[in-house]
Structures are given as C-alpha cells and as structure tokens.
Amino acid sequence: MSKPTAPEYSDIQALARFGHGRLKAARFLLLIIRDAKQAGEWIQSVPVSSAEWTESPSQTALQIALSAEGLRAIGLSDEVVEGFSEAFISGMSADSNRSRRLGDIGENAPDKWQWGGSVTTVPHLLLMLYAKNGQLSAWSETVMDQRFGQAFTVIADLDTVDSNSIEPFGFADGISQPAIDWERKQSTDLHRRDRFSNLLSLGELLLGYPNEYGQYTERPLIDPASDQQAELLPVAEEHPNLHDLGRNGSYLVMRQLHQDVPAFWRYIDQQVQGDPQEREQLASRMVGRQRDGTPLVGPAEQPVEGINTTGNAAALNQFDFDNDPLGQQCPIGSHIRRSNPRTGDFPPGVTGLLTRFVRIFGFGRKHPADDLIASTRFHRLLRRGRVYGEQLSQEVALKPKTKKGQRGLHFICLVASISRQFEFVQNAWSMGSKFGGVQNENDPLLGNRAPLSDGESTNHFSQPDAKGPAHCIHAMPQFVTVQGGAYFFMPGIRALRYITSFTESRGGPKS
C-alpha cells in the first residue's frame, strides 16, 4: 500500500488539473524554433500556469508543450530524448504503420494535413493561451513580444470558439472525465477492479508516479554525475540517485478534427426519412448520449467509484453498461461506448476465485461479446480539447445549399502512455471494425469507413433491439476528417526550466 502524499501542484502545469473552463477564449499556436537561445529565454520569461489553486483565479493562462523535434531543437541531447516513449519520439505521422493503425489513411492521410504531416510541418512547440472572453488578443500581444518573433516561426495559429461546451454536431461535450487520485490514497499494489472504476492512479496522467499496473512509465532519468543541470529536476521516486525529467509532466496528443456537420445531419435525416424524432434518436444512439448529455442507460446498480453520487454529475455519469450487455439501450458501437466501455477487470458477475479461473481460460461466457473488451482503467484519456469554427444549427445544416465550412474540434488529451492510452483507444476501440461483438463498423463519429484489406466494409452501424432484429444502417459516409496532429510532452515546471537551461549554459542552439 502506498503512503498518501501531497500533490506537487506548483510543479504541474494547470491543464493537467483544470480544463480552464472559465477562460472561454483560447488560441493554440504551433511553432518552429528558429533560434534556440531566444526560445529558451522566452520560455523562461513567460508565466506558465501551475495547477496550484488560488482564491482569486487568474484572468489568463498559458501552457507549453514540446514535441521530440522541439526538445532536440532547444538543445536536449539525443540520449535524453531517447528516454521518452517510442510513440512520442517517432511522432504521430512519420510511420505509415502507425498512420494506418490510427485510421490516418485516405482523406485522413498525413500528406493532406494542414500541419504535422511532414518533417517541415511537425511543430516544435505548442503554445496554449487562454483568457476570459474579450481579453485574448491583449493577452496574446503581451506574450508574443519581440523576443517571441525572433525565437519562433508560427506554422499554425488555431482559433477556437466559446461553444458553451457543445461540440459542432450539437451534443454536450466534456461531461465524462476520469477522476485522478492526486493524493495517491488508493493502493498501488496490483489491485483488482472487478467493476468499472472512474478513479485512476496518478501515474495514468503524470509521468514519475506508479500507474494502474503499479509501475513507473518510461521517461528520461538523468544522472547528476554526468549532467549538472539535472539538479534542477526532482529526484526519481524509484531511483533516488537519478533525476526525473518526466515527473509531473504528461504526454499531450493533439489532433485537428474537421467535422462535416451538414453531411452528418443529412445522412441521418435520409435514414429516418425526415422524421424529426427519429433523427434525434438515431443521432443520440451514434453518440451514446442525448444532445443534452443524458445517458441512454439507467444509473448503475451500485455507485461507480470516482464519480459524484449527487447532483448533475451523478445524473449524467453514474452509469456503466453492465445492465445493457447487448447494446439494446446504448448501441455497443456508439462513440462513448467505444471510447470508454466502462468495463472492470472481469465481466459483471464474475466474482469467485473459481469463476475467475474459468474466465481467464476463456470459458463460461454468457454472451458471445463477453471478455472481448479490455479493462477500461488501462485506457483512459483526460480530454482538454476546444471547438473551432462557427456553430451550425441542425436546421441550417439540413438545408441543401449549406456548405460544409470550417468547423470541428481541436482534440487534445493528456496521458502518461501514448500507445497504451490514446493509440489503443483510437486504434482498437474507435477504428476497430470488430468491437464487443459488432462487425463491419467503426466509430460512427470518427470512422474513416475505409474497407478492410479483404474488402470487408466498415461503414455500417447496428442498433440492437429487444423487440426484434437489430436495425442496421449502411453506407455511412465519413463525417470527421483529420487535418493535423502531433504528439507533445507537457513538462512539469521544473522540467521546463531544465529543458531551457541548455541554451543559456551551453552557448546557444544545437541545431
């Protein structure tokens, strides 16, 4: 059992703890480092927001994350960068196998991206600026001073809109998030989670802490004997002689996801022959929630750990899918069920030691789909995205003359393992054409609908019905297109100081 510890909020970037929901205006800048010395000095001069809670919350916030190329460009040695995970070093777009696994083929292919798709457009640095409505341009001017201009080239300047937490298809978003065990009160020994639990070990969000396996995720550990600057970093918990560049930092995944809102509503409208009630029903079954966020299944029989049991959070989130094993209330293939199937380590009802063994060896299933979905707690994401583009009502979207326009989601999530968390969800659950017993489908919102190598289609969506055969719709087009993406590391605040120390002590840029 680990001892409860005080969270090191002052060393953690605020975005890991808060979504900056009160700061409705946001802007994301993707930068290439032109002059490493200036870049280092600029980073040291700006007020990076920490996760420490203050009584008088700030009117603005600023967060920084760097890609592997960015870490190298600012002066980190290859040896240190190689201590990060393979996915981070390789990047989102450089490897065609990775692109295929992520569904980044066809219209989603990196060579069509506006940024991040080729060596010259992979950003070095992501600057995230947040402010109260009306204050973002003044805040940007303060931050993007003369030195900023000398240090960086802006490759993309991504606007966002205050959409009142409604994503462009018209659904309430940002409702379900994992709860983080900041004080490390839960056991880090290999605990079991028979049922779905929403409470996650700190090491599933931040590097340098035990994760849900009770292990430390890989990250660069630096020997102060060979690098004096290592003293700037906290000591590694499991290796007290080494200093931890990862501690209090997270990987940050960013994807620019264009949403074709007219195509979404027109396809649905066509399927239901224009019936407004059925239109709402089909759309909500694709998402897994009604437009206002109401879940399609009833509350869980026993409270789910890590979710409030009272108020709005309970009404919107106190559920799992144990009482809907066939997806008759919330289709198995719906977006929220694919993104978080709310499973425990064993399917419902498997409690005794003997039954566990029977299940481990693959026997005793009640439904053909049982055991096919991995335990959710190893594959959670903390979402921090923002919407962009002018919102379109369903009514306007349905008008034949409405063009698809530029709108969508700047998807951002924070994880401690890009491959086990983001890539697993994106590949196995969202893009998987076989998921929990359903076939020939991928995520109804995110899917690229590309046929499989054997010609099997992936453009169906099935809605099981307790009263008869499943309703299956076909030839669903692609509604979401990837237009940019990259993997970043959002360091702890001491780690940011270490990363920028090379330009001052070692005489400027390496590249």
Is 221 an interacting residue with respect to ligand HEM (CB under 6 A)? no
Task: Give the residue with the Cβ less far from ligand HEM, 221 or 445.
Answer: 445
Candidate list 173, 260, 269, 370; residue touching ligand HEM; CB under 6 A: 173
Give CA–CA dist 262/260, Å, rounded.
6
Nearer to ligand HEM, 290 or 439 (CB): 290
Q: Does 446 bind ligand HEM (CB under 6 A)?
A: yes
Among 50, 417, 426, 459, binds ligand HEM (CB under 6 A): 426
Taking the least distance from each CB to ligand HEM, the nearer of 318 and 463 is: 318
Which amino acid would we find at residue 285?
R
Tokens of 298: 């009833």
**Residue 41 or 280 having the CB closest to ligand HEM:** 280
Phi, psi dihedrals of residue 387, rounded to the nearest 5°: -85, 145
State yes or no: residue 414 binds ligand HEM (CB under 6 A). Answer: no
335 binds ligand HEM (CB under 6 A): yes
Rounded to whole angstroms, what are the CA distances from 161 to 68, 185, 402? 29, 38, 20
Q: Convert residues 338-377 into a mask of x (bound to ligand HEM by CB under 6 A) and - (unbound).
A: -xx-------------------------------------
Identify which range of 182-190, 213-221, 336-344, 464-472 contacts ligand HEM by CB under 6 A: 336-344
Angle between helices 276-287 and 261-271 (to 10 degrees): 120
Identify the residue among 174, 214, 224, 299 touching ligand HEM (CB under 6 A).
Answer: 174
The H-or-E segment that residue 34 falls in is none
For residue 305, CA distances in Å to 97, 178, 377 come to 37, 10, 12
Nearer to ligand HEM, 175 or 272 (CB): 175
Bridge-based pairing of strands 199-201 and 179-181 is: parallel
Partners of 153 in the beta sheet? 32
Only one of the segments 305-313, 320-328, 331-339, 499-507 lies at the binding site for ligand HEM (rule: CB under 6 A); that segment is 331-339
Q: Alpha-carbon distance 248 to 492, whole Å?
A: 5
> Is residue 74 within the footprint of ligand HEM (CB under 6 A)?
no
d(CA 424, CA 376): 11
Can you tell me whether residue 354 is helix, strand or coil?
helix
Contact status: 176 vs ligand HEM (CB under 6 A): yes
For the chain, how big is the Rg over CA atoms in Å?
Answer: 23
Q: Is residue 474 classed exposed, middle or buried when 0-12, 13-18 and 19+ CB atoms within 10 A define those classes?
A: exposed
Residues 460-499: x/- map of binding to ligand HEM (CB under 6 A)?
A: --------------------x-------------------
Count of residues that interact with ligand HEM, criterion CB under 6 A = 25
Residue with smaller CB distance to ligand HEM, 40 or 341:
341
Q: Of 388, 206, 198, which Cα lies nearest the Cα of 305?
A: 198
Gap between the Cα atoms of 426 and 447, Å rounded: 10
- Chain residues binding ligand HEM by CB under 6 A are 167, 169, 171, 173-176, 257, 259, 287, 289, 335-336, 339-340, 381, 408-409, 411, 425-426, 430, 445-446, 480
